[in-house]
Amino acid sequence: MTTAPPFSKVLVANRGEIAVRVIRACRELGVRTVAVYSEADRHSPHVLLADEAVCLGPAEPEASYLNIGRLVDAACGAGAEAVHPGYGFLAENPEFARACEEAGLVFVGPPSHVIAALGDKDRARRLAERLGIPTVPGHPAADDDTLERAARALGFPVVLKAAAGGGGRGMRVVTGPERFRETLASARREVKAAFGDDAVLLEKYLDRPRHVEVQIVADRYGTVVHLGERDCSVQRRHQKIVEESPSPAVDPHLRRRLGEAALRLAREAGYVNAGTVEFLLDREGRFYFLEANTRLQVEHPVTELVAGVDLVHLQLQVAAGRRLSLRQEDVVWRGHAVEARVYAEDPERGFAPSPGRILLLREPHLPGVRVDSGVQEGQEVPVHYDPILSKVVAWAPDRPTAVARLAHALQEYVLLGPRTNLGFLLDLVTHPAFLAGEVSTQFVEDQLAAWQAPDPPPEAVALAAALLAQEPRGPAPVASARAPDPWERLAGARLP
Ligand code: ADP
């Protein structure tokens, strides 16, 4: 690959850790960056880090990060050549990709028609079936009667999903025929509100599968490579929390078969740029195509660490029309990587988001540990967006050492202010089933449903006292009608 920057200037249409990650990658390649922000994010790290920043408008996502017109105007106004969408928000919205294409901006992702084809779960399933890739038994989107007949024929439990959807919106598991209609109606309502279309499809709900997904990268000239799998079985309510690569459940033979299936699908869809093909793996070791994600995943760092690539660099290179210099036979995997997602949320209150000001932040700096962070001390974590704060990723030559490094990093991580899931993550990655690599997508519900925070250790009490002593007299920095309460502020801290 040439060393000239792939673009002169890129607008990053996102916020938080992924915006920071993409801005840094651009900088490494000599590409100037334009950040965008809502009024709630004026003092966020991604805004401070970029070469330029454009305010999109008020905090509400529709007025800012989901506003296609304002984003395209910002990119054109700043003279950007390309737009990187990150993940979430508009990253998989074919209309956004099309709007960029029509404005003469390069969308760092696949062409809009590929996003549309793969983003529709029914169309993607049909494509997989046509290619002989196994899919979970199910039924495409249909009317209520047809879906009910299909559910009875498949046998319960079944899962209902938004055909157009993602992010778990509208997903419902139905265990028996009694509540099928009622659950379908509520799924349709949620799906309609989220995606403007109430199409719902049906699948057999597999018992305790693993979630295994394959990272692919493709250029415009028909070269597609896969970078191995990630295991994302550790989930809460079907949302990933901890991810690793390689999967403890995948041997070289299965890796080859999963990789071939992913490549076939990508080639047939005319895929360009980075993407992920997701599968479920049942307890007998059979795999089933689940869906394709046409963007960078939250969990992409674990692949980067074991495959020795920078996926954002590759995305920018192929978006600029360069050839992939990587060949399948060049891809080698080294060691093991594991990632945990750190959220401003309260595990003891049903993982409700916990916004507020970050009073103290000490992210871990340890050998073999990478922290992709989107926050800084003093910053307000807004209520309007996904409460992800950062990702802690550990690498080591072997899985036990990587997991031990991750646990150590979580212990060293200090955040006071919002509550966080740090203590929960630490108990999760030190749980015997996780250490043994024997988890399913039900692991959290099966083993950690009743999780409670341990009492704060004495060091945490001392730290909270010191913090309170430093604080100027006046209103509490945490937005609260109550009097300042040291325990309240402390609750996010999990000290060694
Ligand atoms: P979304 O696009 O909303 O994220 P997915 O189809 O990717 O939804 O599924 C998310 C998660 O839901 C999977 O990782 C898995 O844990 C669970 N899941 C989805 N479909 C099934 C199924 N047929 N059987 C069992 N679990 C499933």
Q: What is the pLDDT of residues 385-412, one digit of tens each?
A: 999 999 999 999 999 999 999 999 999 9
Residue located nearest, by CA, to atom 23 of ligand 1: 205
Provide the CATH number for the domain formed by 137-204 in this structure: 3.30.1490.20
**Res 99: pLDDT:** 98
CATH 3.30.1490.20 domain locations along the chain: 137-204
Q: Positive or negative, the Cα torsion across 380, 409, 295, 236?
A: negative
**Res 473: pLDDT:** 53
The band of 496, judged by pLDDT with boundaries at 50, 70 and 90, is very low
> Mean pLDDT across the stretch 445-453?
93
Residue located nearest, by CA, to atom 27 of ligand 1: 205
Known active-site residue 295: yes
> Mean pLDDT across the stretch 268-273?
98
pLDDT beyond 60 at 485: no
CATH 3.30.470.20 domain locations along the chain: 210-447
> Mean pLDDT across the stretch 162-175?
89
**Res 164: pLDDT:** 85
Q: How far apart are CA 284 and CA 249, in angstroms?
A: 11
**Res 481: pLDDT:** 40
Which residues contact residue 435 at a Cβ distance below 8 angstroms, ignoring those fewer than 6 apart? Answer: 400, 403
Is the CB of 166 within 6 Å of ligand 1? yes
**Res 194: pLDDT:** 87
> Mean pLDDT across the stretch 26-54?
98
The band of 117, judged by pLDDT with boundaries at 50, 70 and 90, is very high
The band of 490, judged by pLDDT with boundaries at 50, 70 and 90, is very low
**Res 467: pLDDT:** 73
pLDDT beyond 70 at 476: no
Is the CB of 171 within 6 Å of ligand 1? yes
50 with 12: CB under 8 angstroms? yes
Give the position, in ligand 1's atom list, of the atom nearest the Cα of 170. 3
The lowest-confidence range among 88-92, 299-303, 481-485 is 481-485
Percent of the chain at pLDDT > 70 equals 93
Q: Report the candidate in 232, 451, 439, 432 with the shortest Cα–Cα distance to residue 351.
A: 451
> Quick one: fold of 210-447?
D-amino Acid Aminotransferase; Chain A, domain 1 (3.30.470)
pLDDT beyond 80 at 461: no
> Mean pLDDT across the stretch 120-129?
96
Among 158, 160, 211, 289, the mutation site with the greatest number of ligand 1 atoms within 8 A of its Cβ is: 211
Q: What is the pLDDT of residues 207-246, one digit of tens each?
A: 999 999 999 999 999 999 999 999 999 999 999 999 999 9
pLDDT beyond 60 at 475: no
pLDDT beyond 70 at 61: yes
pLDDT beyond 50 at 489: no
Percent of the chain at pLDDT > 90 equals 88
**Res 483: pLDDT:** 40
Is the CB of 235 within 6 Å of ligand 1? yes
Instruction: Work out whether strand 82-84 and strand 9-12 pair parallel, antiparallel, or are unpaired.
Output: parallel
> Mean pLDDT across the stretch 60-70?
97
Residue located nearest, by CA, to atom 11 of ligand 1: 238
Among 92, 210, 280, 294, the mutation site with the greatest number of ligand 1 atoms within 8 A of its Cβ is: 280
CATH 3.40.50.20 domain locations along the chain: 9-108
Give the position, in ligand 1's atom list, of the atom nearest the Cα of 121. 6
> Mean pLDDT across the stretch 293-314?
98
**Res 455: pLDDT:** 79
The catalytic position among 70, 125, 255, 295 is 295
C-alpha 305 to ligand 1 mean position (Å): 26
Q: What is the pLDDT of residues 255-267, one digit of tens each?
A: 999 999 999 999 9
CATH of 9-108, one of 3.40.50.720, 3.40.50.20, 3.40.50.1820, 3.40.718.10: 3.40.50.20
C-alpha 238 to ligand 1 mean position (Å): 6
**Res 471: pLDDT:** 62
> Mean pLDDT across the stretch 241-256?
98
Q: Could you tell me the end-to-end alpha-carbon distance of the chain, in angstroms, rounded to an integer?
A: 45
Residue located nearest, by CA, to atom 17 of ligand 1: 238
Q: How far apart are CA 424 and CA 447, in angstroms?
A: 12
> Mean pLDDT across the stretch 461-476?
65
The lowest-confidence range among 67-76, 158-167, 299-308, 372-381 is 158-167
Task: Write down the mean pLDDT value for the chain.
Answer: 93
**Res 97: pLDDT:** 98
Higher pLDDT, 494 or 259: 259
